[in-house]
């Protein structure tokens, strides 16, 4: 299933500004299938693990503060070539450089408050899906939703 799933997170700013619906609509229109989705608030320690790859960056502290400032929507998406196609749909990290019509161009306020996260590789997609959802590969493969 590698290559067919990606992970996205609608970030606190976009959640607070009522952008969940429009963003989900764009995801849907672009042909992605939602395999799993939840509305959660990350603890600082959890956010530090999720963004561990950026721990040496100057922006790390602010990134953690922002991502834990309110609820996020964590989503597993399925589509052929999911990681690359989703990155095209969201646009580049910095919204001032993002292409017209992309999610970040439409909904991001700044590079820090950039509306959504999207996995950058198939490998990281699996890691990030499993951070929020147990056995996510199996769910994606079976086309099932999770049991509570």
Binder among 1, 24, 111, 146 for ligand CMP (CB under 6 A): 111
Residue 54 a catalytic site member? no
CA–CA gap between residue 89 and residue 103 (Å, rounded) = 6
User: Does residue 59 interact with ligand CMP by CB under 6 A?
Assistant: yes
What's the Cα-to-Cα distance from 16 to each of 58, 109, 133, 148, rounded to whole Å? 25, 12, 23, 27
Q: How far is the CB of 22 from ligand CMP (least distance, A)?
A: 19
Please give the structure tokens belonging to residue 42: 């990350």
Residues 11-50 that bind ligand CMP (CB under 6 A): none
Q: Are strands 5-10 and 72-78 parallel, antiparallel or unpaired?
A: antiparallel
Q: How far is the CB of 138 from ligand CMP (least distance, A)?
A: 26
Stated as kind and residue range, the H or E segment containing 36 is strand 33-40
State which residue, 46 or 93, has the beta carbon closest to ligand CMP: 93
Residues found near ligand CMP in the complex (CB under 6 A):
54, 59, 63, 93, 111-112, 114, 117
């Amino acid at each position: 299933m590698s290559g067919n799933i990606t992970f996205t997170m609608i970030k606190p700013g976009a959640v607070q500004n009522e952008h969940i619906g429009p963003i989900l609509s764009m995801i849907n229109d672009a042909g992605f299938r939602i395999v799993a989705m939840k509305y959660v608030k990350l603890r600082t320690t959890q956010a530090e693990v999720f963004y561990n790859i950026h721990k040496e960056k100057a922006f790390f502290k602010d990134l953690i503060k922002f991502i834990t400032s309110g609820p996020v929507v964590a989503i597993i998406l399925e589509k052929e070539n999911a990681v690359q196609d989703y990155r095209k749909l969201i646009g580049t990290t910095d919204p001032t450089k993002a292409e017209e019509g992309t999610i970040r161009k439409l909904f991001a306020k700044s590079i820090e408050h950039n509306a959504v996260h999207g996995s950058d590789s198939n490998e990281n997609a699996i890691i990030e899906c499993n951070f929020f959802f147990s056995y996510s590969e199996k769910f994606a493969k079976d086309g099932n939703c999770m049991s509570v």
